[in-house]
Structure 1
Amino acid sequence: MKKIALSLSAFVATSLMAGTITLYQDKDSGAIYTKPGPNRVKLGDFISVQDMAKQNQKIRNEMTKEIKGTKVFSKVPKLKINGVHYLGYHYTDFDDKNRADKSTFETRRNYLQVKAYWNKHAYARITLDTHQQNNGDWVARLKYAYLYLSNILPFTGVEFGQVHRPWIDYAEHHGWLYRSISETFVETRNAAHVINSASPGINFKTKTDYFTSEIGLFNNGGYHSVKSGTGQSFEWRLTYEALGTGKKHVHATSDEWLNISFFGRYLTGTDNGQNKDTITGLHAVYNTPMFLIGGYLMKDDNNGGPHDGKGWSVNGEFRPIQDWSILARYDHWKVTPASNIDYTKKNIIAGVAYTYNKNVKFIANINKYTDDQPNNSDKIDYLLTAEVHW
């Protein structure tokens, strides 16, 4: 940009010098001359109106050449494009000596997102993600594709299409801020693993200073499951924002919030062979620029199905100096399926994070998982992660 400014300045100066004339006036007669002489006083440098118009057009043409970029055509006045990448190294040490340990570099998530705004209150969004299949091939997968309209009801907007489900997106922005190393307690395979973050459906989102909520209907299996049957999942999040931050886009290192939430799911009818899949959960979180602490109590009644279980979780983050954080989490989930014996999952995460700049964060952590099944999957994971936002 500096080079452009300097080149344009030089062009303007040269152009103006080329089109100017210097005028002189006789002290006694007042006559005007274009050349200096006895008894003549210099009046200054002048340019004609016609020459000025020509020079202005030349300047505009030159500026267009200098700053011209790739043209983007759209039927809306504003496009917002951004991406998120979770890049890392992952070493897994299995407790079972019959299982081979694993060492791998990986890209855990690669989101590409476009929002098309026709005004500041309404937009369409599409988010693509990459997913590696069991044969090693990488494929693109649709994460979100929805229409958002604000204020269709008092303080309430709506997402329609393939949308956010009520709980996980909120939790990742207020309670557990390290999605790049682990999903939330309700989603990760190392704990409850009862719901995912997106689904075809409709989601009504309410925001006031002291109360926020999301309420909607969804396909129970979410965005990467086959839908069958006529049942729909009724889901909700009701949050008391005790410090009045409900309308604010909060930042962990500069804002304070205290939130208490009741969230859940109730399956109406039958979906994918299931006729009952009821989640009830409580969550509380308190954040200051120095630290965060949050916790869950949750139960899932799947009528003896694979989601049956109950448990709790607590996580914390301490920020002792600028740009550095120490993080920890413990998940405890008892699985109670009718087709198998009960067993308990225990998941411990501990690590340190460094904010390199507003676009990049580095995280190093250990994740220890145990369960008490006869053929358990006990392991320790060592992760190094670069979380990139642009």
Structure 2
Amino acid sequence: MKLKTHILLSSLFYFSIFCNAQIQKNGIDTEEKGIVVADFLKMSGNWFIAYRDGIAQTQADDEKGLVNEHKSAFVLKRSYFTLKKDLNETFSVRYTMDLTVDRDGPDAGNIETRLKYLYVKAKPNFNSTVFTGNWLEVGMVHTPWLDYEQKINTYRVQDNMFIERNKIFNSADFGVTFGGNIGPKMDEKFLKEINGAMPGKYASYVIGIYNGAGYSGEEKNNNKVISGRLSVRPFANTLPELHLSGYFNIGKGNNEEAPDFNQVLGFITYTGKQLTLTAQTHKGVGDFRASYLYEGTNKPIKNNGYSFFGEYKIKKSPLAIWGRYDSFHLKTDDFRGTKRYIGGVSYTVNKYLRLILNAEHNDKALNENNIYELNLEVSF
């Protein structure tokens, strides 16, 4: 294993030498990218390519659970392709394809395509000084939480965020999402140079109603899930880097019997120019796929957990170090539940390319494993 780690470190070093590194803000730029095609629409993409040594990666929308099958291979972890078009000053549309590797059946190994986002977006002008920056998405839309968190923890290339990693819900669904700010918009310079996750100076909110099956699931009942997020900046004029957030789900899991799916989440984060810190806690009943059920019943299992993340961007350098710790428990687990220790180093080549070398140690009910990766993130 030491040899493999040495090879990954060497690869990172030599790749950085031969790349023409444009040293700027660490991490893939958070400002919106894209290529304007014939003055008609904007095209953008995001690719996660990796060398992975460890158990197979699973997603929140996978039918299978964790498979303890060791693999060592170059993999396409995810690939997104997006088209956007402004129809007029109020309305726009978005189309995002999600490309991943088919792992089941006779087509295993082929690249399969499915939709991630497909919506009409409106930015109505309510002429209000209290509710500003209002927007509405209709179709296959963002749900209120993960898009926000992934603007703060930018290491989705390594794996899902804590709540999605534990298959509570995923990032998109069929439905309607409405959001905006309470009070004025935050200073543009801060949003661009520090962090743009929360555009409101004092508070931002998102609320919506959804099928509840996720963007890759078939609706199996007539119930809907209501979700919402409120984020506040308590010291907007003196410590704008500090955010406090709350999130909830109220609804039913996606099977014919519709078991309860309720959740609350608390989140605190500091988003500085060099240092980012987050802490979150979760408590709920069931999950969006109705898979956390007591055996032989339709009774949902209570679950809870917490997660910590930190990143330090080395000043005047393209390097950053980061780490994360997750703890998640089902009421049926032993006292250890699932614990994950994740950490690594990233190297920003330029605003489009980033290399991430990381390791992960999993401990699930006394079943331990390790994962080692060298990731290439492409964002244009």
TM-score for the superposition, normalised by structure 1: 0.70
Q: Distance in 2 between matches of 1:107 and 1:306?
A: 34
Question: Is the 8 Å Cα contact of residues 121 and 136 (structure 2) preserved in structure 1?
Answer: yes
Question: Is the 8 Å Cα contact of residues 227 and 272 (structure 1) preserved in structure 2?
Answer: no
Structure with the greater alpha carbon radius of gyration: 1
Q: 1:277 aligns with which of 250, 261, 268?
A: 261
**One-letter amino acid of the counterpart of residue 118, structure 1:** L
Q: 1:166 aligns with which of 123, 141, 144?
A: 144
1:384 equivalent in alignment to 2:374? yes
Question: Is the 8 Å Cα contact of residues 141 and 177 (structure 2) preserved in structure 1?
Answer: yes
**One-letter amino acid of the counterpart of residue 140, structure 1:** T
Q: Distance in 2 between matches of 1:367 and 1:83?
A: 27
CA 1:279–1:119 in 2, change beyond 3 Å: closer, same or farther? Answer: same
Q: Distance in 1 between matches of 2:346 and 2:301?
A: 32
1:233 equivalent in alignment to 2:225? yes
Q: 1:179 aligns with which of 129, 151, 156?
A: 156
Q: Distance in 2 between matches of 1:307 and 1:167?
A: 22
**One-letter amino acid of the counterpart of residue 109, structure 1:** R
Q: Distance in 2 between matches of 1:128 and 1:200?
A: 15
Q: Equivalent residue for 1:314? A: 308
CA 1:272–1:204 in 2, change beyond 3 Å: closer, same or farther? Answer: farther
Identity of aligned residues (%): 25
Question: Is the 8 Å Cα contact of residues 232 and 270 (structure 1) preserved in structure 2?
Answer: no
SS of the residue corresponding to residue 218 of structure 2 reads coil
CA 1:269–1:131 in 2, change beyond 3 Å: closer, same or farther? Answer: closer
Q: Equivalent residue for 2:187? A: none
Q: Equivalent residue for 1:148? A: 121
Q: Equivalent residue for 2:75? A: 106
1:199 equivalent in alignment to 2:166? no
Q: 1:301 aligns with which of 282, 285, 288?
A: 285
1:132 equivalent in alignment to 2:127? no
SS of the residue corresponding to residue 289 of structure 1 reads coil
Q: Distance in 2 between matches of 1:270 and 1:315?
A: 30
SS of the residue corresponding to residue 169 of structure 1 reads helix
Q: 2:342 aligns with which of 333, 349, 359?
A: 349
The C-alpha deviation readout for 1:224-267, integer Å capped at 9, x for no partner, is 1121111000000110023549xxxxxxxxx9621110001000
SS of the residue corresponding to residue 225 of structure 1 reads coil
Question: Is the 8 Å Cα contact of residues 76 and 100 (structure 2) preserved in structure 1?
Answer: no
Question: Is the 8 Å Cα contact of residues 335 and 342 (structure 1) preserved in structure 2?
Answer: no
Question: CA shift at 1:152, angstroms?
Answer: 5.8
Question: Is the 8 Å Cα contact of residues 253 and 261 (structure 2) preserved in structure 1?
Answer: no
Question: Is the 8 Å Cα contact of residues 162 and 199 (structure 1) preserved in structure 2?
Answer: yes
SS of the residue corresponding to residue 151 of structure 1 reads coil
Q: Equivalent residue for 1:4? A: none
Could you tell me which runs of 5 or more consecutive residues in structure 2 were left unpaired when the two chains were aligned: 1-35, 57-67, 182-199, 287-292
Question: CA shift at 1:307, angstroms?
Answer: 5.9
Q: Equivalent residue for 2:245? A: 261
Question: CA shift at 1:315, angstroms?
Answer: 0.7
The C-alpha deviation readout for 1:311-343, integer Å capped at 9, x for no partner, is 111010011232110000000001125xx7676
Higher relative contact order (CA 8 A, sep 6+): 2
Deviates more, 1:269-278 or 1:125-134: 269-278
Question: CA shift at 1:381, angstroms?
Answer: 0.5
Q: Distance in 2 between matches of 1:307 and 1:388?
A: 39
Question: Is the 8 Å Cα contact of residues 285 and 302 (structure 2) preserved in structure 1?
Answer: yes
Q: Distance in 2 between matches of 1:332 and 1:227?
A: 30
CA 1:140–1:314 in 2, change beyond 3 Å: closer, same or farther? Answer: same
SS of the residue corresponding to residue 119 of structure 1 reads coil
RMSD (CA atoms)? 2.5
SS of the residue corresponding to residue 136 of structure 1 reads coil
Deviates more, 1:146-155 or 1:208-217: 146-155
Q: Distance in 2 between matches of 1:386 and 1:133?
A: 20
